[in-house]
Structure 1
Amino acid sequence: MEFATPLIPARLIRRYNRFLSDMMLEDTGQEVRAHCPNPGAMLGLKDPGIRCWLEPNDDPKKKLDYGWRLAELDGGHMAGIDTSLPNRVVGEGLSAGMVPELAGYDLIRPEVKYGKNSRIDFLLTGAGLPDAYVEVKNVHLRRMDDWAEFPDCVTARGAKHLAELSDMVALGHRAVLLFLIQRTDCGRVKVAGDLDPTYAAAFDAARAAGVEVIAHGTEIDTRGVRFGAALPVDAASQSGGGA
């Protein structure tokens, strides 16, 4: 997924009201307001002074002239801020056959209704294969070593999705939870059971029910966010396991 407009650097003044942020443009020192396309906690990614990358726009339909796309991390690493991008990135990866566990499917359909008033991110179908229901989760929390963690706050909706994936397995289908790690400084992923014990329990129950769990990283730079290599997933969700 390539950005439509070249990004420009800025420094975060503050992020507030979930979808708004104040920035100072590096080249001019001008203070601007940028859309923050991320309603989550953004732990470690919203500290004042952090270097950010904004996408300018001249769309008269948009209220703000800038959209926050990336946060620059230590060591030249990047984190993607936009939570609307992971489905597009995963869609590109699936279409390119970059997920071996899901190879062989003829049709990839996004946003298909299923469960109880829900939509699955991708439904994969193919002759002679069980339907595969794929739920994508954006991951950009890192607190220790090279562990990426999900979620970064309580997510009742996430637990609901896990239960619905388990229901699909019970009906004879495949159900896959795909973590997309939208930052480049992580080499593995685990569930943050201390931040949401209910989600951790639902994760364990879903795995026990036969829901498959896979994870992929991303390649991120100021040109775009691209689907990356597979990463290992830790099983010790409720203990916050891993070292």
Structure 2
Amino acid sequence: MAVGAVDESLKIWDDSNYGEGVTLVAPGAKIVRADTSQSNGYAEADGTSDATAYVSATAALIRAKYPDLTAGQVINRLIKSAYLPDDVTKAPDEEYGYGVIRPYASLTRDIPKGPKQGPLAQPSPSTSTNSGTASEDNDSTTQAKKKKKSSSGNILIIAGIAAAVVVIGILFAVLRNRRNGGNGGPGSGGGTPPHGTGYPPQPPTGYQPYPNTPPNQGYPTNQGYPPPPAQSPQHPNPYAQQPPSEDR
């Protein structure tokens, strides 16, 4: 419950709460309360907190006298015993709610218990028609979820099969490459040609003969390589030098 405050004339306090949520109002202006900052231990103050204390105290008194009442039935006694000024024609009012709290009347008046939920309980929106509609909505929602789940499962299965096919293809290509080229097999270009084929041995790619190498060393001379440059006297060919004689 939301509680507002009234002054000593039962008029709404200037700083009270307003709105549709206000349920009851209680004294909240010039209230004497405990204050340890004062020499006598008391002070006068205003506020809806003081009004709330009056309402909760009255609820405690009702529960003490009628322990079999539910919380909703206690609220029913608070509301049915409240006082509304003559100029308030409709309850709940945005300022007064259902009226000003009256503790004595709430304890002594002959007020029926009322429903366990109390007078403020919201009516259940579900009816037979609404229940059927809600059931149909739940069924359609469940079927939609099942379809979505099934579709998601099919997508996952297809994706798994595609991934397996890709992996198998990669493994097959690697194995075939190893069989054909990894051990000098056909097509690798790195094996040794068989003996007796009648072809002269070919130089490796990028081969260039050393300078001053005599022709006919097993490699053809007409490979399109330019003739070796003449050796400069300052830089003799290190491969053409003779080793020193033993008597030197």
- With normalisation by structure 2, the TM-score equals 0.21
- With normalisation by structure 1, the TM-score equals 0.21
Q: Which has the higher contact order (CA 8 A, sep 6+)?
A: 1
**Which structure has the larger Rg over C-alpha atoms?**
2
Structure having the larger proportion of residues in helix: 2
Structure having the larger proportion of residues in strand: 1
